[in-house]
Amino acid sequence: MTQADGLADFGHDPWWLILAKVLAVFVFLLLMTIFAIWYERRVVGRMQVRPGPNRNGPFGLLQSLADGLKLIFKEEIIPRTADRVVYFLAPVISGVCAFTAFAVIPFGPTVSIFGHRSPLQLADLPVAVLVVLACSSIGVYGIVLAGWASGSTYPLLGALRSSAQMISYEVAMGLSIVAVFMTAGTMSTSEIVAAQADAQRLVLFGQEITIPGWYAVLLIPSFLIYFISAVGETNRAPFDLPEAESELVGGFHTEYSSMKFMMFYLAEYINMITISGLCVTLFLGGWHAPWPLTLWSGANSGWLPLVWFTAKLLLLLFVFVWLRGTLPRLRYDQFMRLGWKVLLPVNLAWIVMLAGIKVIQRESLDGSVRTTIIAGVAVVLLLVVTLWPAAKEPEPMLGMPDPAGRIGGADGFPLPPLDLQVPPSPRAMPTPVPATAADTGSDGAEDSTGEEA
């Protein structure tokens, strides 16, 4: 395969080094999964004022290991109506896709490994970011086929929801990455990280200002849309509709047990780690050290960037857990409306705006042409704002209740207040006590005349 100049470091490793890198990525993902499960349970526990797992090992660190071992030795139950081949294939597809996607995430700069200069990244391509998108889109098959092959209603419903959700949010996610491609001028992950290395100089209203090179700052809308759609893409709360426990039992993996269930669980966490890793790579400067640390010149060389990368990854995982601990699950139609009617149009408008800014910033552009373009855009925006149809007034309600709070006169039922304001209690009003009520005061302590009895 022909490679661009920026990828010259790749493709020269001896076979043992490639094998070692594959193994390292595999072990990193497994360890991160075990850690992330513990981390999530501890953080959610902390947010809910309870300790979380704390029995196995120091701080309960070995809890997920124990859970994993228990899961392996559990009995495997396959439903009688299952389509056996597809039922077996589904978790395999999920797992393989989850592991593959991490191959293109850069962990660090070029280092020396046993005398070989090699980048801390398994593979890179001119279109490396597309590898992650391709893996996640194939990973949907695992979920959909699991739901279908189970031969059961709840998994099928979960699978349908999941496929619709992942396809919708993949569109938003793919579009949010476009802005990064436009700014970095490449689709290779290592080159995108390199493009974020230096602070950028921006000329704004004639003044030159220095802004950090991270795309999370330069391209804030893209970053926010990416993160929201990443939560949707990984089926995490508040977008965990495919496995909404209260509606669908367990979603697509209701009928799965033992190793196969573990595979789905593993894939879900690895997907979360991959999506966070891609977010770090695309928006948070990759393995580069954050600002105060960059004052020390050795921060971005050698093996140390591995620490910065992992720290950023854990920070993003914390946000995932934070969201889960804070937000209630969305309703399905609200969720789809957010994806298609909010994230997508905002994203498109932002990309067009960014392209416009890039054209205006071009130095070959004449000054008067630039002013004309800016004025034209401002006029169009003003027109849109003024001519935008105003929201319709809500129509007056028919058949409102009478002053006594009833609808339909004495035949109707007393109506609860529509504005959710609790009306003053009739008992609290100073009304004279009827003589008959005082005689029958023995049948209720709640009665206003109860204390007389």
Partner 1 sequence: MSLALETLAQSTVPTGEVVTFWILAPIALACALGMVLARNAVHSALFLVVTMLCLGVFYMVQAGPFLGFVQIIVYTGAIMMLFLFVLMLVGRDSAEAVIEVLRGQRIAAVVLGGGLAALLGTGAVRALRATTATGLEAANADGNVQAIAQLLFTRYVFAFEVTSALLITAAVGAMVLAHVTRPKAERVGQTARMLARFAPGGSPAPKPGPGVFATSNSIATPALLPDGTPAERSISAVVPTRDLTPEEAAPKGTQGNQEGQQ
The half-sphere exposure of 25 on its side-chain side, counting CA atoms within 13 A, is 24
Cα 141–chain centre separation: 19
CB closer to partner 1, 302 vs 405: 405
- Of the candidate spans 259-267, 346-354, 396-404, 434-442, the one that interacts with partner 1 by CB under 8 A turns out to be 396-404
Q: Report the nearest approach of partner 1 to the CB of residue 8 (Å).
A: 13
Nearest Cα to Cα of residue 122 among 133, 108, 137: 108
Residue type, 103: A
Q: Report the nearest approach of partner 1 to the CB of residue 106 (Å).
A: 18
DSSP-derived 3-state class of residue 211 = strand
Give me 268's structure tokens.
């879900």
| Sole binder of partner 1 in the list 101, 122, 156, 262 (CB under 8 A) | 156
Give the separation between CA 36 and CA 31, rounded to whole angstroms: 8
Q: Report the nearest approach of partner 1 to the CB of residue 178 (Å).
A: 12
Q: Is 96 in the site for partner 1 (CB under 8 A)?
A: no
297-316 in b/e form (b: 16+ CB < 10 A) is eebbeeebbbebbbebbeeb
Give me 172's structure tokens.
């938003």
CB closer to partner 1, 61 vs 130: 130
CB closer to partner 1, 174 vs 212: 174
What x-and-dash track marks residues 334-363 binding partner 1 by CB under 8 A? ------------------------------
Contact (CB, 8 A) for 237 and 327: yes
| Sole binder of partner 1 in the list 44, 318, 415, 449 (CB under 8 A) | 415
| Cα-based angle 267, 273, 277 (whole degrees, multiple of 5) | 140
| Sole binder of partner 1 in the list 151, 238, 290, 441 (CB under 8 A) | 151
Distances (CA, A) of 433 to 425, 429, 439: 15, 11, 11
Q: Is 182 in the site for partner 1 (CB under 8 A)?
A: no
- Of the candidate spans 106-114, 139-147, 237-245, 259-267, the one that interacts with partner 1 by CB under 8 A turns out to be 139-147
Give the separation between CA 132 and CA 280, rounded to whole angstroms: 14
Q: Is 160 in the site for partner 1 (CB under 8 A)?
A: yes
The residues binding partner 1 (CB under 8 A) are 1-2, 4, 83, 86, 125-127, 130-131, 133-134, 137-138, 140-141, 144-145, 147-148, 151, 156, 159-160, 163-164, 167, 170, 174, 187, 397-401, 407-409, 411-413, 415, 418
